[in-house]
Chain A
């Protein structure tokens, strides 16, 4: 099998050599060198190592407690996000549920927003002055209005906020499962539950492992949900890291904390890679067929699943509705939680959109984010393919190096780039990068590498290598195989990754504040200037307006990139579905253009 190809064999392929050379340069110039520079400057301030940081941190009760909380949250999230995530994926893509298209839209609301506003949205509903809380207190007067706070609240909010990766990637992997195996199991008398547990979930493993790592990382880096809902007892370590990063005399503490979190992430990555090893995650049948939705035959179970699905739908959509409503209210009303329909005006939008800078920051951000998202995904398509194919020590070393951006906070990455490239540097052909428009693009690409790599690698793992072997036997060249066989198979995942990268970079502040060209300032800086804590009532209203505007942009992106390909697949599948029970949610217009997307896709696609 391909798993045991040695370094020597690997070095014989010119494709590998070219990709390897570019990759080595990129890693050396933008991942290793800047970060080594900044870490040296922090840990060896006067040329000699100081153990001060460790001593200070480990003797601080607050730091240790916050660190513990971050780890607790990371572990808990790895479990809860998987539970909720797999459930919503099954409900929308595997079981036949009434109104699954509507449910999908509700669950997909996390694609388009997050951060502090999301936490605030949940607070409007379940917080001490929230709608649901007021209702409950009226029903049960003995109830504590502050029930929704602390670890429980943070876990709930972050669980529902971070199922995006499941909805995109696990769902995508699910669609690639060969329906014939399921039919075969059914004919052998397997129950719905057995099929799910023994056939469906095992096939999803590479993707589930990848999204578990992401959930773990999200938990470790939790910032806004604990700040808004954690209360006194559940604060995490990230706010402290940010404060210390900003203070030159305490930067070593920030770096040490970040390295601790980074090492934990790497450990998690190592465990997951080990678990993933050796499995076969693609269909081995020669002619595989598309997945069909399953009925839940047990009446009680069917009712229960429907009930839970619609309850989750309500949980997911309520905050979005309120955020949109509140974006029309004035800042004082938002902060005191008093919403009345009479007070909703367009003032906030007028104020934000008639600033002198106008639409310009939006355009700058769209261009930067799009470039960075496309470059990261395009470059890593080659890299992740090679890492997936060749499993030896060189490949592992590269893989771990590419995760460096996950270890350090983005402010430190940015500072590292500045100190390394504020003078002519041979690594980049003697150019000075600070003060140019390129340096921010480099940083944007770099910070998106680990996520892109993880998700792409997982989707390559689900590709049947026999397709590729067959093509190679028939004389196809490496690049041809890559372009015509592999690329179409991972394209849906790649498109989704690009969209997510794009969305997450749109409002970036941490990197842009240090690296943006003064004449080409992205949106994040403008948002910050208009929403900072000390900006009073307008500031908070502006936060909501920007969130809604970003929702519109990211919503359009997701629709263009993901919604379209989703529809095409649906259309293709429709004729194959048994005609007896037309499902209202999936009943798309039958105006189908046959074969419109088949030209680029191999017959009997195995996704």
Chain B
């Protein structure tokens, strides 16, 4: 076991190093005093932990506001996508109906359009709907773009839940709805949670649509807010950029590492079909 562990870590080590490298860069740049950004040759060490970088950045980049915006958009779009996906996935896994294959094909096709390609049309539509510059425009679009994936995941998972259980409850005299709520739902909750995490991460990191739809900086989500610190300015304050990136990444990374075992378990149970 020990030998195997060492061997595995040895094989994985190059990848581990490459993965951790950008995080290391982020870390040392974020804490560095500004005067030490451009020493030559560049070094991993620096004279002191400049915590003030974070405080300055928080104020300068309006970080708190962007954080709330990101949370609002990611949570609501995930909830919306789930509300719409669960019945659709249930229908796909339990019923035979006309146009089922066409519907599946349509879902796959919706994945093929990059948001960048559609940005102009989407914008025109949001103008018609009066939703430009509202976070709700992002909620709708993220939900729509995530739905294909969430439906697919939920459906493959639902198919693994034995139908006999529902039937049994049904025969016992429970109504269809009751059997759904009592028998099916509790079994499906883990899968829903896993699927929701996928949706959440996609929304949390999305950039192009947020950049286009949100016009005032009060509505910026985190990726846009951070990007605006880098893009085309006469001056880039790298220590602030990296501090912001770190703060935006850390919570997700922590939650993620805690949840990843559920992710994999969900995938396994979902036994992709």
Chain B associates with chain A = no
